[in-house]
Amino acid sequence: GRPESEMDLVSPYFVPTQEGTDALIAIAARGVKVRVLTNSLAATDVAPVYAGYVKYREALLRGGVRLFELKPQSDARPHGKVGASSAASLHAKTFAIDRSRIFIGSFNLDPRSARLNTEVGVVLESPTLATQLSDAFDRGIPERAYEVRLTSDRTGVEWIERTAAGEVRHSSTPGASAWRMVFVNLLRLLPI
């Protein structure tokens, strides 16, 4: 359906493409609160997916979409895998519309799920479940994720971490090694 007031998305592999980015921005332009939770670079198990997401991040933010990146819950990293990261990454794939309908399934908001994979999901008319997801964005997610925002001069992005002591601002991808950031920046240049 057509969101009227809010749309909350959770996708561990979030690569909206230009078409998806335009659609989310158009929804936000109608005054709908659009919030997205995906993995941070430190939490993802697939760095190339993060590189694909980064290509659209600033446009989404400029278009009024709020972005959250899940913090890693553990420093345990699989050995021998260049693209691997935290063992505690996001895996849920769901979205809620107007606190009345919710999708739960295997579909990631990325080209692979849209064009290659066989995916399944259900849409439920369930204000209770939809509200639980939206309430998580209101209360739990801000403590478990970095909110990505445009810098005050709107020339880049920053990550806002909420702690017991207040907000901490990060000017570069928090929790990720320099090598991992270089790897993602190289992948961003490729047409994948």
**pLDDT digits over 122-145, tens only?**
888 999 999 999 999 999 898 999
CB atoms within 10 A of CB 79: 6
| The pair of three-digit structure tokens given for residue 21, joined into one six-digit string | 């980015």
The H or E element spanning position 39 is strand 33-39
Question: What percentage of the chain has pLDDT greater than the value 70?
Answer: 83
CA distances in angstroms from 151 to 61, 95, 111, 138, 159, listed in the order given: 10, 27, 29, 22, 9
pLDDT of residue 49: 85
Mean pLDDT calculated for residue range 61-84: 71
Residue 114: is it exposed, middle or buried by C-beta count within 10 angstroms (0-12/13-18/19+)? middle
Give the model confidence (pLDDT) of 2-33 as tens digits.
Answer: 899 999 999 988 889 999 999 999 999 999 99
Question: What is the token pair recorded at 71?
Answer: 């913090």
Q: Chain-wide mean pLDDT for the chain? A: 85
Residue 84 φ then ψ, to 5°: -85, 155
pTM of the model: 0.85
pLDDT given for residue 78 in this prediction: 44
According to DSSP, residue 164 is labeled T
Task: For residue 47, count other CB atoms closer than 10 A to its CB.
Answer: 20
pLDDT of 79 above 50: no
Average pLDDT (77-84) is 43
What is the tens place of the pLDDT at every residue in 87-113? 556 677 889 999 999 988 766 766 666
Identify the pLDDT of residue 27.
97
